[in-house]
């Protein structure tokens, strides 16, 4: 039996307009073909949704949304989406007509030639910025920018094109992208906020930056083998010191962990590359012309091509063509040549061994698919008729071929009898190879699974076939609220949140995500145990930041954060530059300021807690006892600015300054402005977290008063 490589075959005419040339890609939900428009002669990519998904309105809506949004993205740097159409061929499916681009993927170039030059990558960056500006203007965010989705036609970086927008994403089990809970993309290229399902223009820019970095290095980055390692890595600034010149500066700005520290739009990035003022219009090359789909009046299908007549009339030639048509066409029609016809014409169908047929129904679908062989059109039609009677509420989608050499004369009746017994299951597949029948499926309950298994095996004994049964039991929906109550009792550093499913409950195959901050990595082992027992059968993902116990202990005694007009600012003592989310390196001199509302007054306290549990009081202390606001500090742009630590060049016993030394890690700075003294007298210059907790415990009410302003900020140090 000659099994086709895809739903469509070479030479088929789709909607009387597109001639299929070949299959060029496939996934769990669809296939992509190269096709030619018979009117214009131009080539297109045809993306079809497989028939079983074409009955699913959710998938149709995804493709409709993809087509509607991206049809309006008109730019030479973005693959052109033409229109969404429907075909009645092969049981019916919908398909998307797209521009066909010939060229190498950036990933292929990296694999074959290694690293790319900075000059070439700056051209790629300019093109991608131009294309993203056009797509973002239509609220179309790619979500999966990577070397796989950038093509260089003819190998020319100045013609780079962005393909495969992540709106209708492939969700097959083997798909290389991850979908669920709002996340779509490849982990190594996804922005930190994308892991939480937050996506905007700046997320695409981050992914572009990682793509350019990997293309410069000639290999993909490795950021961890677990979700927790990935989340931790994404929180740190990417090291780009090996990338020279303008490309290095560009990538550095694109891959900032915080979205607000990146370019705020693709337009900004392009203007920066061009050296033009922010806000100026971007020059772009003219877009490719849009090619509408043209519908040609349908013609009757034929299975042969007319031959020219022989010189002089060629009557014999015409007769031979008719003989050929009679032998090859018409569902097995042949001339009645008497008892000797089997010698002239061999068996009607190719012999098949073993005989195989598969019948399948997926949960949530009203379609039953059939694929395999039958003994001829009459036997196949009778089988389909009996199945349709038994499954009147379903649509049958058969892909059957006629064959000779059947194992017995009951083939079609056997499969009908066995398939009927699978009907009570949520989903099922019945496969028969000769006279061995296998049932796999999922049941609502253990009782239902046992009932179907017993009935299936009994029918097999009755009709004398061998059977094999494997039925799993569906996991019932699970409410998220009890899981959140449970996880709250195990938090070690602030609130934890359990999410998944529809936000209220988990479906049978939904994954669980636990988000928040923990004091130590070993907390995950506890979550695996307690959540695993409460939600058996559900895989658990972690979106956790790991701090340390001293910092978490301090955060536990602080009131909930609120917008109170205070701000902690970090800068460098030895040089100019914005710290942003970057870590202070060994030997650097952190300068810390606190900004207060201009009209603020009261007693100001500030302290620094390191990763080993030491508390250093910045104000007040023995050499700097004045800490009332005003008069300390200075007025700057409508705020009162009070310096807490100073550049080393200005440091003294009163004005504290320090350099970063070991131990390294996440530290915390806390500032409190209260209307009454927070402590009874001065605290020691340095003390333990336990001593600070003991001193603050009686002041819980004061810290929670509306008039008390409290702010904290992490200060990360690295070697």
Q: What is the pLDDT of residue 339?
A: 34
| Joined tokens for residue 638 | 């409508």
Span 434-464, pLDDT tens digits: 889 999 999 988 888 999 999 999 888 888 8
Residue pair 542/228 in contact (Cβ under 8 Å)? The answer is: yes
pLDDT at position 126 is 96
Tell me the C-alpha distance between 383 and 482, whole Å: 50
Alpha helices in 137-200 (DSSP H): none
DSSP 172: -
The pLDDT of residue 124 is 96
What dihedral angle (degrees, nearest 10) is formed by the CA atoms of 429, 431, 436, 437?
20
CATH topology (fold) of 356-469: hypothetical protein tt1634 (3.40.1520)
Instruction: Name beta bridge partners: 543.
Output: 515
Place of tokens 């490849």: 186
Least trusted range by pLDDT, from 46-55, 319-328, 403-412, 628-637: 319-328
Q: List the one residue out of 62, 81, 84 whose CA is nearest residue 70.
A: 81
- Of 135 and 2, the one with more pLDDT: 135
Q: What is the pLDDT of residues 335-383, one digit of tens each?
A: 233 333 333 333 467 888 889 999 999 988 999 999 999 988 888 888 9
pLDDT per residue over 642-664, tens digit each? 999 999 999 999 999 999 998 88
- pLDDT computed for residue 409 by the predictor: 76
- The whole-angstrom separation of Cα 404 and Cα 334 is 16
Q: Is 686 helix (H, G, I), strand (E, B) or coil?
A: strand
| pLDDT, tens digit (0-9, with 9 covering 90-100), for 260-275 | 999 999 999 999 999 8
CA distances from 239 to 212, 236, 257, 545, 668 (A): 13, 9, 12, 20, 24
Q: Which of the residue ranges 206-210, 294-298, 369-373, 623-627 would you say has the lowest mean pLDDT? A: 294-298
Check if the beta carbon of residue 221 is closer than 8 Å to that of residue 188: yes
Which 3 state secondary structure label does DSSP give 63? helix
Q: Mean pLDDT, to the nearest integer, of 194-211?
A: 86
Q: Which of 603, 613, 582, 578 is nearest to 671 (CA)?
A: 603
Domain with CATH 1.10.510.10 in the chain: 104-274
Look at residue 318 and tell me whether its pLDDT is greater than 60: no
Long-range CB pairs of 423-427 (<8 Å, 24+ gap) are 423/390, 423/391, 424/448, 424/451, 424/452, 425/449, 425/452, 425/471, 426/363, 426/474, 427/361, 427/362, 427/363
Q: Are 433 and 356 in contact (CB under 8 A)?
A: yes
pLDDT value at 317 more than 70: no
pLDDT, residue 168, reads 33
Token pair for 188: 């190594």
| 98 vs 91: CA distance, rounded Å | 23
Whether the Cβ atoms of residue 327 and residue 345 lie closer than 8 Å to each other: yes
- pTM for this model (two decimals): 0.41
Please list the residue range(s) of the chain that carry CATH number 3.40.1520.20: 356-469
In the predicted structure, residue 323 carries a pLDDT above the cut 90: no
> Among 34-43, 226-235, 238-247, 315-324, whose mean pLDDT is lowest?
315-324
Cα distances from 197 to residues 188, 218, 538, in angstroms, run 15, 29, 20
At 229 the pLDDT is: 62
pLDDT, mean over the chain: 81
Rounded Cα–Cα distance for residues 153 and 18 (Å): 23
DSSP-assigned letters across all residues of 600-640: --EEEEEEEE-TTSEEEEEESBTTB---EETTSSEEETTEE
Q: Which residue has the higher pLDDT, 6 or 1?
A: 6
Instruction: Report CA-CA distances (Å) from 244 to 115, 216, 240, 248.
Output: 13, 10, 9, 5
Length of the chain: 719
> 196's torsion region: left (phi>0), alpha (psi -120 to 50) or beta?
alpha
pLDDT of residue 228: 57
Q: What angle (nearest 5°) sits at the alpha carbon of residue 610, between those of residues 662 and 631?
A: 120
Q: Confirm if 303 and 46 have CB atoms less than 8 A apart.
A: no
**Between 75 and 604, the higher pLDDT residue:** 604
- What percent of the chain is helix, strand and coil (3-state, nearest 5)? 30, 25, 45
Q: Tell the residue number behind the tokens 């009454």, with chain if given.
A: 676
**E-assigned strand segments in 139-294:** 150-152, 161-162, 178-180, 183-185
SS3 207: helix
Q: Which residues contact 353 (CB under 8 A, 6 or more apart)?
A: 405
> Which residues partner with 666 through β-bridges?
716
Residues sharing a CB contact under 8 Å with residue 495, sequence separation 6 or more, in sequence order: 488, 516
Contacts of 17 by beta carbon, 8 Å cutoff, 6+ apart: 37, 38, 39, 293, 294, 295, 296
Class of the CATH-defined domain 478-546: alpha beta
Domain with CATH 3.30.200.20 in the chain: 13-99
CA distance 468 to 432: 10
The number of helices, as runs of H, and strands, as runs of E, in the chain is 18, 33
Answer whether residue 3 shows pLDDT above 60. Answer: no
In this prediction, residue 234 has a pLDDT band, given cuts at 50, 70 and 90, of: confident
| CATH number for the segment(s) 557-718 | 2.70.50
Instruction: Write a three-state SS string for 88-115.
Output: CHHHCEEEEEEECCCCEEHHHHHHHHCC
Strand partners, 559: none
User: In angstroms, what CA-CA distances link 314 with 255, 319, 322, 327?
Assistant: 75, 9, 13, 21
Whether the pLDDT of residue 71 is over 80: the answer is no
Has residue 666 got a pLDDT over 70?
Answer: yes
Min mean pLDDT across 86-95, 410-419, 625-634, 644-653 is at: 86-95
Q: In what order do the strands lie in the sheet with 161-162?
A: 104-105, 150-152, 161-162
Q: Which CATH number fits domain 13-99: 3.30.200.20, 3.40.50.300, 3.10.28.10, 3.20.20.80?
A: 3.30.200.20
Place of tokens 């100001």: 604
pLDDT > 90 fraction of the chain, expressed in percent and rounded: 46
Predicted confidence at residue 280, as pLDDT, reads 55
Lowest mean per-residue pLDDT among 139-143, 301-305, 466-470? 301-305
Mean pLDDT, range 408-422, rounded to an integer: 88
CA neighbor of 192 nearest in space, from 205, 178, 181, 203: 203
Distance of CA 658 to the CA centre of its chain: 44
Question: How far is the C-alpha of 163 from the C-alpha of 176, rounded, in Å?
Answer: 15
Tokens at 230, concatenated: 């990935």
**The pLDDT of residue 121:** 95
Predicted confidence at residue 350, as pLDDT, reads 83
3-state secondary structure of 455: helix
Strand partners, 43: 36
CB contact set of 346 (below 8 Å; sequence gap of 6+): none
- In angstroms, the CA 717 to CA 479 distance is 41
**Where are the CATH 2.70.50 domain residues in the chain?**
557-718
Domain 104-274 in CATH 1.10.510.10? The answer is yes
Q: Is the pLDDT of residue 331 over 90?
A: no
pLDDT of residue 58: 61
Question: Of 692, 682, 613, 623, nearest to 657 (Cα)?
Answer: 623
Q: What is the pLDDT of residue 311?
A: 33
The string over 65-91, giving b where at least 16 C-beta atoms fall within 10 Å of a residue's C-beta and e elsewhere, is: ebbebbbebbbbbbbbbbebbebeeeb
Give the pLDDT score at 2.
41
DSSP letter at 543?
E
Q: Which residue has the higher pLDDT, 682 or 185?
A: 682
273-300 pLDDT tens trace: 998 765 555 554 444 333 333 322 233 3
- Strand 427-433 and strand 436-443: pairing? antiparallel
> Residue 208 and residue 150: Cα distance in Å, rounded?
10
Report the distance separating Cα 472 and Cα 119, nearest Å.
56
């Amino acid at each position: 039996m000659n099994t086709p490589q895809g739903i469509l075959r070479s030479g088929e005419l789709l909607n009387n307009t597109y001639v299929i040339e070949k299959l060029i890609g496939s996934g769990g939900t669809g296939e992509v073909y190269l096709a030619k428009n018979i009117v214009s002669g131009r080539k297109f990519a045809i993306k079809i949704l497989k028939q079983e998904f074409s009955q699913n309105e959710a998938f149709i809506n995804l493709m409709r949304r993809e087509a509607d949004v991206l049809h309006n993205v008109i730019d030479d740097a973005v693959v052109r989406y033409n229109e969404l159409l429907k075909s009645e061929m092969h049981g019916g499916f919908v398909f998307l007509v797209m521009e066909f681009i010939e060229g190498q993927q950036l990933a292929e170039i990296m694999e074959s030639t290694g690293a790319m030059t900075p000059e070439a990558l700056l051209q790629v960056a300019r093109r991608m910025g131009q294309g993203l500006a056009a797509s973002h203007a239509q609220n179309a965010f790619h979500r999966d920018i990577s070397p796989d989705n950038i093509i260089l036609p003819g190998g020319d970086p100045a013609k780079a094109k962005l393909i495969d927008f992540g709106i209708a994403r492939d969700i097959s089990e083997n798909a290389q992208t991850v979908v669920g809970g709002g996340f779509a993309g490849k982990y190594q290229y996804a922005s930190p906020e994308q892991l939480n399902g937050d996506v905007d223009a700046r997320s695409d820019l981050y992914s572009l930056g990682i793509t350019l970095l990997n293309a410069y290095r000639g290999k993909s980055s490795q950021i961890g083998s677990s979700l927790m390692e990935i989340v931790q890595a994404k929180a740190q600034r990417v090291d780009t010191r090996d990338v020279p010149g303008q490309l290095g500066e560009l990538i550095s700005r694109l891959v900032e962990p915080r979205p607000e520290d990146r370019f705020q739009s693709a337009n900004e990035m392009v203007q920066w590359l061009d050296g033009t003022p922010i806000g100026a219009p971007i020059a772009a090359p003219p877009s490719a012309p849009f090619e509408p789909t043209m519908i040609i009046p349908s013609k009757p299908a034929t299975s042969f091509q007319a031959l020219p007549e022989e010189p002089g009339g060629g009557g014999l030639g015409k007769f031979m063509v008719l003989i050929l048509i009679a032998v090859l066409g018409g569902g097995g029609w042949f001339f009645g040549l008497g008892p000797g016809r089997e010698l002239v014409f061999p068996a009607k169908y190719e012999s098949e061994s073993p005989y195989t047929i598969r019948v399948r129904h997926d949960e949530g679908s009203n379609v039953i698919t059939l694929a395999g062989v039958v003994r001829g059109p009459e036997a196949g039609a009778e089988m389909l008729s009996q199945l349709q009677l038994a499954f009147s509420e379903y649509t049958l989608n058969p892909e059957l071929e006629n064959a000779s050499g059947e194992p017995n004369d009951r083939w079609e009746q056997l499969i009908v009898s066995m398939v009927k017994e699978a009907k009570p299951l949520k989903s099922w597949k019945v496969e028969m190879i000769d006279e061995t029948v296998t049932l796999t499926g999922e049941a609502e309950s253990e009782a239902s699974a046992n009932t179907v298994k017993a009935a299936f095996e009994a029918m097999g004994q009755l009709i004398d076939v061998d059977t094999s049964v494997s039925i799993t039991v569906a996991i019932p929906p699970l409410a998220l609220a009890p899981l959140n109550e449970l996880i709250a009792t195990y938090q070690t550093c602030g609130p934890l949140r359990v999410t998944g499913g529809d936000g209220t409950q988990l479906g049978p195959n939904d994954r669980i995500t636990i988000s928040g901050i923990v004091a130590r990595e070993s907390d995950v082992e506890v979550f695996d145990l307690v959540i695993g027992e409460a939600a058996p059968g559900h895989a658990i993902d972690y979106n956790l930041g790991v701090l340390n116990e001293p910092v978490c202990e301090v955060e536990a005694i602080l009131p909930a954060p609120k917008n109170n007009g205070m701000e902690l600012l970090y800068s460098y003592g030895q040089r100019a530059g914005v710290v942003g989310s970057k870590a202070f390196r060994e030997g650097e001199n952190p300068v810390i300021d606190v900004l207060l509302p201009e009209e603020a007054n009261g007693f100001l306290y500030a302290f620094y807690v390191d990763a080993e549990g030491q508390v250093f009081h910045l104000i007040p202390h023995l050499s700097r006892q004045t800490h009332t606001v005003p008069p300390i500090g200075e007025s700057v742009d409508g705020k009162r600015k009070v310096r807490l630590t100073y550049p080393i060049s200005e440091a003294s016993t009163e004005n504290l300054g320090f350099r970063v030394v070991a131990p390294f890690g996440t530290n915390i700075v806390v500032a409190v402005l209260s209307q009454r003294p927070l402590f009874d007298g001065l605290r020691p210059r340095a003390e333990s977290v336990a001593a600070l907790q003991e001193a603050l415990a009686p002041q819980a009410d004061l810290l929670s008063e509306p008039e008390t302003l409290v702010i904290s900020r992490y200060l990360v140090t690295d070697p």
